[in-house]
Amino acid sequence: NPFHEGHAYHIAEAKRQSGADALAVIMSGHFVQRGEPAVFDPYRRAEDALNAGADAVFMMPPEASTSSAEGFAAYSVELLDKLGCDTISCGIEPGTDAEQLADYAKLLCSESSEISDRIKTLIKSGISYPAAVAEAFGMEKTGPNALLALEYLKAIYKTGSRMELVPVTRKGSGYADLNINPEMYPSATALRAALLSGENSKELPLGPDDFLPEIINSIQRTDNPQEYLDCDEAIAARLKKTDFHYHSYDDMIKDIKTKEYTYTRIARAIIHIYLQIKNPPGEIKAAYLIGFSNPDVLTELKNRSHIRIISKAADYGNELESTAKAADLYNTVLWKKY
């Protein structure tokens, strides 16, 4: 978000390390796990991935792509498993011990009372769940990629998936590095900031601020924020108290945020109100294909898959209702801006 050189490196390394014949990408759609709109629409991002070596690209529905790390990982693992993939690959930060991550994931799955009690105590002290998990395992210095890898492993063990995890060590700039150094694989954070600054007039990016009036309007029209995913009683109470005189999306999230919640938890709750998402993803019964570069790979996937592969959205209106709604809201703002 957007696709960049680090992603291209990851695709090449995932294929090399796993020895895979082909690679399928599971990608967020119009709204992403950060609780924000994607900087470009999914079709543009899918095309970039295919041009960089991916063989097929599948799109998550918004209730999965805007889920917590746990929900995001659980959906990804279930979908890849049902498509018949042999391996799942994700990024980790330099210095992360992959074998130790696997041990931590097994401990979380075993619901060890010692670990559970430790995490609960840390949360009660006023820190968020991801921070509590990181501290419980001594992972405070690891980054978000390693914590997400932990969730992938947990999902693999919980579901009994036969898939193997192949982690690829991140190269170049750090996750939140705002400097753009062509020799260092600039971060997505830096690229988004540059795109949204208007430095390149050929691009048509969207940022959270472009959605701010519509998002505020959706919250103010909502009688009961608690009925939406990730919006608990405390967040709902804070939403009801604010007057929403904000000049940026970032200002709004920071004003509503407390130390018990991560920035992205607040952002996800707000996006769920905007998208009218009330429930987490249910059982996966279909995969939504939005691009492919190799017909033979698509044939192989169809032979392996335990679920339907949707390639023509018009034939599956009801099953793609939330995806279509997210696309409509995204495209409305895109047309207003450009």
pLDDT digits (tens, 9 = 90+) for 38-62: 999 999 999 999 999 999 999 999 9
CB 275 within 8 A of CB 62: yes
Q: Which residues are within 8 A (CB) of 232 and not within 5 positions of it... i.e. 6 or more apart?
A: 226, 269
What does DSSP say about strands 308-310 and 286-292: parallel, antiparallel, or unpaired?
Answer: parallel
Least confident range from 60-64, 108-112, 148-152: namely: 108-112
Other residues' Cβ atoms within 10 Å of the Cβ of residue 304: 12
Whether the Cβ atoms of residue 67 and residue 280 lie closer than 8 Å to each other: yes
Phi, psi of 143 (to 5 degrees): -100, -175
Mean predicted lDDT score pLDDT of the chain: 91
Using the predicted structure, report yes or no on whether residue 179 has a pLDDT greater than 70. Answer: no
* pTM, two decimal places: 0.92
User: Facing residues of 87 across strands?
Assistant: 164
Strand partners, 111: none
Give the length of the chain: 338
Asked if the model's pLDDT at residue 130 lies above 60, the reply is: yes
Give the strand order in the sheet containing 24-27.
Answer: 24-27, 56-59, 286-292, 308-310
Range with lowest mean pLDDT among 111-120, 224-233, 262-271, 298-307: 111-120
Question: Mean pLDDT throughout 229-236?
Answer: 95
Closest CA to 82 of 281, 282, 280, 284: 284
Lowest mean per-residue pLDDT among 57-71, 104-118, 272-286: 104-118
Distance from C-alpha of 269 to C-alpha of 51, rounded to nearest angstrom: 34
62 Cβ neighbours under 8 A, 6+ residues apart: 29, 30, 31, 275, 277, 322, 323, 325, 326
More confident residue, 56 or 177: 56
Grouping H, G, I as helix, E, B as strand and the rest as coil, residue 24 is strand
| 326 pLDDT tier (thresholds 50, 70, 90) | very high
